[in-house]
Amino acid sequence: MANISNYIDKINSKGEKALSVFLTSGFPQKENFVDLACSVFDAGADILEIGFPFSDPLADGPVIQNSSHLAIQNGINLKTTLEYAEKIKAKNDKPIILMGYANPILKYGIKKFAQDAISAGVDGIIIPDIPINEYEEFYDSSFDPLDIILLITPTTNGKRITEIDNISRGFVYCVSVSGTTGVRNFAQNANNDFLANAYSLIKKNKTMIGFGISTPEDVKKFSPYCDGVIVGSAVIKTLFEEQKNYANTLKLISSLKQACKSA
Amino acid sequence: MTEYNLPDNNGRYGKFGGKYVPETLITPLEELEKVYLEAKSDPEFIKELNALNKEYTGRPTPLTFAERLTKHYGKGKIYLKREDLCHTGAHKINNALGQILLAKRLGKKRIIAETGAGQHGVATATVCAKFGLECHVYMGEVDIERQKPNVFRMRLLGAEVIPVSSGSKTLKDATNEAIRDWVANVGNTHYIIGSVMGPHPYPMLVRDFQSIIGIETKAQILEAEGRLPDYAIACVGGGSNAMGMFYPFLNDSVKKIGVEAAGLGLDTDKNCATLTLGQEGIFQGMKTYLLQDEFGQVLEVYSISAGLDYPGVGPEHSYLKDSQQVKYVSIDDKQALAATALLSKLEGIIPALESAHAIAYLESLAPTTTKDDIIIVNVSGRGDKDLQTIMNNLG
């Protein structure tokens, strides 16, 4: 289908980088989550990643751990997340990606999940604890209409980057640092050699960089090595700080999109 | 019967096991597997590990005939494998020594570990002290509270004990934090997992390092009785002492029984009988049986014994359950406490609360045996660390 890939390509052809924003499903409030998601799109997000919560999020730092924990306490699960996706999709045709860990999907039923995600209008999925080693064991043909987005990290060697690029659909998620999700200082952590090498090796897919992007300056520093950026913890952190309206969060997103345009 | 030969090349035991980890960890896991496979067939490595097992840990540990316990039940002939006599007080040192030698080969200077009861943390802190490596142990706040002597022991050995306040504040959460640390520090850090769990190759290599328990037991019982036992019993949390005992007997007709913790009872939500009540799941790098809710969220589990208080189980146990090569049963807190008192009074051996679960199963098993049936129970650790808990409950 290559929905997401074509979509990013259109953005790139305008001389812009794509901006993907991560929200934890049903966070901070489950009642107005659909409105928040639509506002995030309006503020400049090109792609929305909705994280369905898991009790033991291994790849996440404290910020997303806390939002996932609250979401679970608020009764959010894979089913409610699929319902959100369907409602958001009804108001907006930009791509929606579901992101989360394998166990809630296994429990939901792998085939049933694929079918329900497709009928909800979901475009892609990211499951960080299904590396290519477990790809064939986990996914089956029912996932064909969905983009299965795979990750690379600074420990992924060149041969494996090519292998992952060949299997991934939609884009390759390039993790900028070895570590969990979270806000960090770009200058101290990012490995430019890895990013440059990865970007040159990824030929089949678009490259989106995530982990550690929180400011317009970060976007500019990463933009030579990617077709777009993913921001997660910085958004969740701002949502934690805001009590009622989401003015600061939306302001952050539009400033990041501005940086994507001039990158 | 075909020779047991698992895991396969993908690190699977049937459908269980595998490497369900974030991409960052794939390369270090492959490195670890390569170094382990080289070491395993390197005579120098084997020699060094054997020497440490003998001169540092005090192996072989005895196989003790439990004369008064045997008389108490009037049936069966009960032997105890005395892992409680290992240096540091439990079987955990067998694995820690093997892995510290691997860390040396990997050139890693920083060691991290998770711990529940504190026995694996103490074992890791011990080997780090001996080899002069930096040691950080993640431990849940609940466990820090109920295993104070071990926390002090680790600190005395020079390790940093890092309290974990997420989730149920026990072993599961300590393991999450240790994995997160490893993801962030893979370059200089080796993660010494304490049980036969996590992503491949850990379940395999921990099992191999622990299988010295079963190898010794086999030789000792052949010497004492001239034949193999009829039963081998061990407790199962993650399941490393049980795999260590069972693995060398997998091709034999010995009946193997793994004992899980039923906590306050199987009909309550306060237990951790994963193999009895769990369903297939993907958790902490492995596919295995898992205690989870209808949405696939991992449950907060409970046992009086911190070492068994874990919602998952080593993937090889999941396979051995489904293939019916091992029988899994459960014992609750009260039964374990009673067994602690019984073994203390009849044999002069105060077992760890974990091991007491295995002892307690004799109440069910012994009456079904004849007086010639040989039963071996693995006493995986000693009870000193549990004295406060035991006093609170029996005192």
Predicted confidence (pLDDT) per residue in B322-379, tens digit:
999 999 999 999 999 999 999 999 999 999 999 999 999 999 999 999 999 999 999 9
The label of the residue with tokens 């005579």 reads B43
Interface test with B, best of A69, A78, A80, A178 (most B CBs within 10 A): A178
User: pTM value?
Assistant: 0.97
Binary contact (B282, A155; C-beta < 8 A): no
At residue A2, the pLDDT reads 52
Residue B128 has pLDDT above 50, yes or no: yes
Binary contact (B26, A156; C-beta < 8 A): yes
Residue B243 CB neighbours (<10 A): 29
Predicted confidence (pLDDT) per residue in B270-304, tens digit:
999 999 999 999 999 999 999 999 999 999 999 99
The interface predicted TM-score (ipTM) is 0.96
Residue B27 has pLDDT above 50, yes or no: yes
> In whole angstroms, what is the distance from residue A40 CA to residue B371 CA?
74
Predicted confidence (pLDDT) per residue in B245-267, tens digit:
999 999 999 999 999 999 999 99
Question: Which among A54, A107, A151 has CB closest to B23?
Answer: A151
What does the pLDDT average to over B22-43?
97
**A179 Cβ contact list (under 8 Å, min separation 6):** A61, A189, A211, B24, B183, B184
Task: Please name which of A232, A234, A229 lies closest in space to residue A214, comparing C-alpha atoms.
Answer: A234
Show the domain range for A23: 4-262
Q: Does A56 touch chain B (CB under 8 A)?
A: yes
A vs B, Cβ pairs < 8 A, gives 115
At residue A1, the pLDDT reads 43
Question: Which among B19, B184, B283 has CB closest to A179?
Answer: B184
Q: Which helix (H) or strand (E) holds B106?
A: helix B92-106
Q: Does A134 touch chain B (CB under 8 A)?
A: yes
Kindly write down the DSSP assignment for every residue of B74-94, as one continuous string.
Answer: SSSEEEEEEGGGSGGGBTHHH
Give percent above pLDDT 70 in chain B: 100
Question: Which among B22, B27, B295 has CB closest to A129?
Answer: B22
Q: Which of B114, B177, B316, B354 is catalytic?
A: B114
Domains of chain A: total: 1
Predicted confidence (pLDDT) per residue in B73-94, tens digit:
999 999 999 999 999 999 999 9
What does the pLDDT average to over B3-26?
97
A169 sits in the region (left: phi over 0; alpha: psi -120 to 50; else beta) called: beta
Q: Domain holding A220: CATH number?
A: 3.20.20.70
Contacts of A56 in chain B (CB under 8 A): 167, 172, 176, 283-284, 298
- Report yes or no: B113 and B130 within 8 Å, Cβ to Cβ: no
Q: Does B162 touch chain A (CB under 8 A)?
A: no
B51 pLDDT band (50/70/90 cuts)? very high
DSSP bridge pairs for B161: B137
Binary contact (B19, A134; C-beta < 8 A): yes
What is the pLDDT of chain A when averaged over all its residues? 95
Binary contact (B186, A178; C-beta < 8 A): yes
Residue B168: active-site member: no
Q: What is the number of alpha carbons within 13 Å of residue B226 lying toward its C-beta?
A: 1
What does the pLDDT average to over B31-48?
98
Longest dimension (CA), chain A: 48
Low-confidence ranges of chain A (pLDDT < 50): 1, 187
Query: What one-character DSSP code corresponds to residue B11?
Result: S
Predicted confidence (pLDDT) per residue in B134-158, tens digit:
999 999 999 998 888 999 999 999 9
